[in-house]
Amino acid sequence: MFYEFSRAIVRSPGKTVINGLSETGIKPDYLTLKNEHLSYIKSLQNLGLTIDILESEDSLPDSVFVEDPALTFKNGAILLHPGAHSRKKERALIKPHLMETFDRVHELKKGYAEGGDILRLNDEILIGLSDRTNQLGAVELQNLLSQLDYQSRIVETPKGVLHFKSDCSALDEETVLVTPRLAKSEIFNNHELIVTPEGEYGAANALRVNEVLLVPNGYPKTAELLSDKFEVKIIDIFEVSKLDAGLSCMSLRW
């Protein structure tokens, strides 16, 4: 199943992480963010994952968010091209480790795409077009995914939303957590939708890992709603969220 993982890659946050991209302009507290990241790693380890912890890179403040420059699968990996100019070099930064870890590593050579726009479902992978993922990159990514035997579909990210997964997460084979604005689309016609309550749209970037659903802190109504069907674990990412990031951003899983 698409949410069953045994390994993950993370990168420790450098002190410059406080200068990472942020739509609000609010800088996080470094030490608190570092502790949040350590707790995140511990949570993945407790769920049975072996974690590769890469060294921090102060020249690239957003490099802690390893999900954006690459995709990882059990049968290979894909190096992406981040759409944000300040994040372009993150691809080269993570490439050596992927080359050491996977037998097959494909590289996006046209357009740009970020992992935050890529949602894995049970039978297909969705590629959300956004300011960070363009049509040229999405089409090229479809070609690379097909080489790893994955079917994919290009969809539209809601206007004003940074990444497609900012507004949704796949919970199991039939269920997707979505914001109200994404629920109105016809993207998930074949799925059961759980809609985030009013004022808790930030909860949409949850993360299913094996038998547990990780949910960001600060969204009690959503957590209660999800607890009816899933084993929920609340993860503290208050400082991380100041950097336009969420639970899925901080790891590559396979």
Enumerate the active-site residues: 163, 249
244: left (phi over 0), alpha (psi -120 to 50) or beta: left
- Alpha helices in 86-188, H assignment, sequence order: 90-101, 135-147, 180-183
d(CA 116, CA 249): 7
Cα-based distances in Å from 217 to 169, 206, 224, 235, 245: 16, 10, 12, 6, 13
d(CA 180, CA 192): 14
| Core vs surface per residue 47-70: b (16+ CB within 10 A) or e | bebebbebebbeebbbbbbbbbbb
